Amino acid sequence: MSRPQATTEVGLGTTVFGILGLVTLPIALLGLALSGGGLVWAIVAGAAVLAVLVAYIDPFGG
């Protein structure tokens, strides 16, 4: 009997992370537009873009 590989779970985690990034990105961009360029919104937007990029590249998935 073979064990399930942990990379599948990690790959799924990056996919969920990417979906959260896709949800967070428009909210962060709206916050940036409404606040006139707040640093916190810029950091949130940057983290969302990074999450989407990691999910797109998916270094852990197969």
pLDDT band at 6 (very low <50, low <70, confident <90, very high): low
Does residue 44 lie in a domain region?
A: yes
HSE-CB at 37 with a 13 A cutoff on CA atoms is 0
**Looking at the 3D structure of the chain, how many domains does it have?**
1
Which residue, among 19, 30, 9, has the nearest Cα to 52 in the 3D structure?
19
Share of the chain above pLDDT 70, in %: 73
pLDDT at 28: 86
Does residue 19 lie in a domain region?
A: yes
Does residue 51 lie in a domain region?
A: yes
Does residue 13 lie in a domain region?
A: yes
Determine contact, residues 19/39, Cβ cutoff 8 Å.
Answer: no
Does residue 40 lie in a domain region?
A: yes
pLDDT at 55: 80
Does residue 53 lie in a domain region?
A: yes
Per residue in 26-48, pLDDT tens? 888 888 888 887 888 888 888 88
Does residue 2 lie in a domain region?
A: no
Does residue 48 lie in a domain region?
A: yes
Residue-range definition of the domain harbouring residue 38: 8-57
